Amino acid sequence: MKDARGVKNIAPAKSAKSAGGFTESTVQSVNKHQTSDTPHPASHHFSYFCTKFFPLKKKKQDFSHLSAKQPIGIFDSGVGGLTVAKEIKRLLPHEDLIYFGDTKHLPYGEKSREAIVGYSTKITSFLLEKNCKAIVIACNSATANALKEVLDLVDETVPVIDVINPVAEKVSYEIHNNVGVIATKATVNSGLYKKSIRKHNKFIKVDELATPLLVPAIEEGFKNHPITHSIIYNYLSNSKLKNIETLILGCTHYPLLIDEIRQYYGNRVRVIDSPSIVANQLKMILEKHHLLNDKNPDPKYQFYLSDLTKNFEKISKKFFGNSIELELKTL
């Protein structure tokens, strides 16, 4: 049947409807009748209606091909991700860990999005080659700029855990009104923290502040030092953070200065412990897919660096013991 405009009406196939909504074949049964030359207006609206009001069912993730004995892969631009690795080691003491620190290219926060994507995907490929059962992006800048590309590369073969979404979700469901985020330029420019928090709770006010001097200071080994005291004071006294009740440390390097940051605020502001949240998210996912290793009495910790640095050696041995070895790896 044609309407007044001479456009043929296509009725949706009844068999394509399912109890839980419309399947992809429903939409395709309409779309296949349109040609590239004459797009059908009715089919466009029908497709929108289906996806808007009857969302397609997500394919259930299947990780049955993985084994609990496989290692967990973790990466960051430098020492910051060690705060996440340390918490994973504490929470999951029987897991083998493989850590890649891209110290040659730090800090990621000052790099272009294209560069961060390139570094992140190369490291992810390396960790997959090492037979890792899960990938932890222990870097906020990499999460904010390369999460989609990492997910595309992994293609649901292993779970991917990032450091922004678990934190944003937890904060959004707790009692918070004014939240501050300090992070690198790359993370702040992406706006991902604000988007992620407000996706779950649109009533929370989120103020983000770029704090680019903190990572270089940490990588140089400054802690409880007049230099870090001065940088922290100058950043946290910024008017953007004036009325916050909660502060998210939006870079995995920053927990290394958490005592100094808490000292600045006293009891006025709650400082979020992001590594703990990320480690718990990882544990939950591994348990869900029966991938938790709880029978390994002698876990192995492997560390690969794109450039060997004294500060990384110092912090990694402090967290994991003096017996660990650091291996130089160029990707």
Residues involved in catalysis: 139, 251
Quote the CA–CA distance of 90 and 84 in Å, as a whole number: 10
Omega before 226 cis (within 30°)? no
Please return the burial class of 283, using the count of CB atoms within 10 Å of its CB with bins 0-12, 13-18 and 19+: middle
Six-digit token string for 141: 């800048």
DSSP state of 296: -
What is the Cα–Cα distance from 279 to 232, expressed in whole angstroms? Answer: 26
Residue 305 CA neighbour count, 13 Å, CB half: 19
End-to-end Cα separation, the chain, in angstroms: 61
Tell me the residue ranges of DSSP E strands in 106-259.
134-137, 160-161, 178-183, 205-210, 246-250
